[in-house]
Amino acid sequence: MLQQGGNGAAQRAAAACRSFDAQLSDYLEGADRPEVTTHAADCEFCGAFLADLLLARSACGELPEAALVEEPPARIWANVRATLVAEGLIHPPGRQRAWLEWLLTPAPAAALTAVILLSLFAARSLVHEHRQAVKDVAELVVGRDVIANVSQMEAAFRAQSARLNPTIERAYEEDLASLDGEIKECKDTLARQPEDDLSREYLASAYTQKARVLESALELGDSDAR
Amino acid sequence: MPGRRPFEHRAVACLSAALALLVSAGILPAAGQGRVEKSFRAIPNCRIHISNPTGGAIVVRGWDKAEVHAVCVTNSPKVEVDSEPTPANAEAERLDFATHVLNPQATLQERMVSYELDVPRDSNLVISSPEGSISVENISGDDWINSVKAAISVTDGAGLIQVRSLNGDINLVRPSGHIEATSIMGNLTITGSHSQKINAQTESGKITFDGDFLPIGDYLLKTYAGDINVICPSSDSFSLDAQSLRGKMDNQFKLRRKSHVPYSRLGGSSSFGTNGPGEASVTVKSYSGAIHMRPRP
On the question of pLDDT at A83 being above 70, the answer is no
- Is any Cβ of chain B less than 8 angstroms from the Cβ of A220? yes
Q: Which residue in B7, B98, B91, B3 sits closest to B45, CA to CA?
A: B91
A172 to chain B, any CB pair closer than 8 A? The answer is yes
- Tell me how far apart the alpha carbons of residues A200 and A141 are, in angstroms, rounded to a whole number: 6
pLDDT surpassing 90 at residue A90: no
**% residues pLDDT > 90 (chain B):** 79
Q: Worst-scoring range by mean pLDDT, A111-115, A157-161, B89-93? A: A111-115
Mean pLDDT calculated for residue range A67-79: 54
Preceding amide of B29 cis, omega within 30: no
Q: Does residue A83 belong to the interface with chain B, where contact is any CB pair within 8 Å?
A: no
A117 contact partners, CB below 8 Å, separation of at least 6: A53, A56, A57
Binary contact (B130, A168; C-beta < 8 A): yes
CB contact (8 A) between residue A216 and residue B166: yes
Rounded to the nearest angstrom, the minimum Cα separation between B105 and chain A is 13
For the question of an ipTM over 0.85, the answer is no
Burial of B235 (0-12, 13-18, 19+ CB in 10 A): exposed
A211 touching B (Cβ < 8 Å): no
Contact A196 B130 (CB under 8 A): no
SS (H, E, C) B95-131: EEEEEEECCCCCCHHHHCEEEEEEEECCCEEEEECCC
Q: How confident is the model over B3-51, as pLDDT tens digits?
A: 456 656 666 565 566 545 544 444 445 556 899 999 999 999 999 999 9
Q: Does A101 touch chain B (CB under 8 A)?
A: no
Residues of B in contact with A200 (CB under 8 A): none
Contact B130 A220 (CB under 8 A): yes
| Minimal C-alpha gap between B86 and chain A (Å) | 23
A113-127 average pLDDT score: 68
Cα A58–chain centre separation: 23
At B229-251, the pLDDT tens digits run 999 999 999 999 999 999 999 99
Q: Which of B53, B166, B185 sits opposite A223 (nearest CB)?
A: B53
Average pLDDT, chain B: 90
On chain B, the residues whose CB falls within 8 A of the CB of A207 are none
Q: What is the pLDDT of residues A40-49, one digit of tens each?
A: 887 777 777 7
> What is the spatial distance between Cα B64 and Cα B42, in angstroms, rounded to a whole number?
12
Q: What does the pLDDT read at residue B281?
A: 97
Judge whether A203 is closer than 8 Å to chain B, CB to CB.
no
pLDDT of residue B160: 97
Question: Among the ranges A17-26, A182-191, B184-193, which has the highest mean pLDDT value?
Answer: B184-193
* Residues of chain B neighbouring A206 (CB-CB closer than 8 A): 203, 224
Q: What is the SS3 assignment for B135?
A: strand
- Sign for the CA dihedral angle at A153, A157, A160, A163 comes to positive
CB within 8 Å: B224 and A220 = no
Rounded mean pLDDT, A204-208: 93
Query: Which of B130, B148, B224 lies closest to A202 in CB terms?
Result: B224
**Mean pLDDT, range A92-113, rounded to an integer:** 58
State which H helix or E strand residue A165 sits in. none
CB contact under 8 A, A206 and B224: yes
